[in-house]
Amino acid sequence: MSPNMLRLRTLMVGIPLALASLAVSAQVTPPGRTLAAQCAQCHGTNGNGPGFDEIAGKSAREIYNELLEMKSRPVEGIMDRQARGYTDEQMRLISEYLSTLPGNGGD
């Protein structure tokens, strides 16, 4: 078999494998989604209300920093208690997931 034929054969085997793994990864639930479901009761199903402040459509860093601040400041409001229920890693996953949701332009 010529080197070119060999390369072609490798390609033909490789492409369906790559597509199959893409299809599998598309079905995996984003890691922060289940955690963020807890936020829906107050911030709406997709973080867009109706309810309290809109939390979708912000950058992951912005949401994460807000959660970190709420977790570390003295407990005054609802969110300070909410934030204390999560590890920093969980808050990072939640923030990453929420940042993928489109906001509706409100706050």
Closer Cβ to ligand HEC, 25 or 41, answer by number? 41
Alpha helices in 28-58 (DSSP H): 31-36, 40-43
- List the one residue out of 68, 40, 38 whose CA is nearest residue 54: 40
* Binder of ligand HEC out of 77, 87, 89, 105 (CB under 6 A): 77
For the bound state, the minimum distance from the C-beta of residue 94 to ligand HEC, rounded and expressed in Å, comes to 5
With binding defined as CB under 6 A, does residue 79 bind ligand HEC?
yes
With binding defined as CB under 6 A, does residue 52 bind ligand HEC?
yes
Residue 50, preceding bond cis, omega within 30 degrees? yes
In angstroms, the CA 27 to CA 42 distance is 27
In angstroms, the CA 9 to CA 98 distance is 42
With binding defined as CB under 6 A, does residue 107 bind ligand HEC?
yes
With binding defined as CB under 6 A, does residue 2 bind ligand HEC?
no
Residues that bind ligand HEC (CB under 6 A): 38-39, 41-43, 52-53, 55, 63, 66-67, 77-79, 82, 94, 107
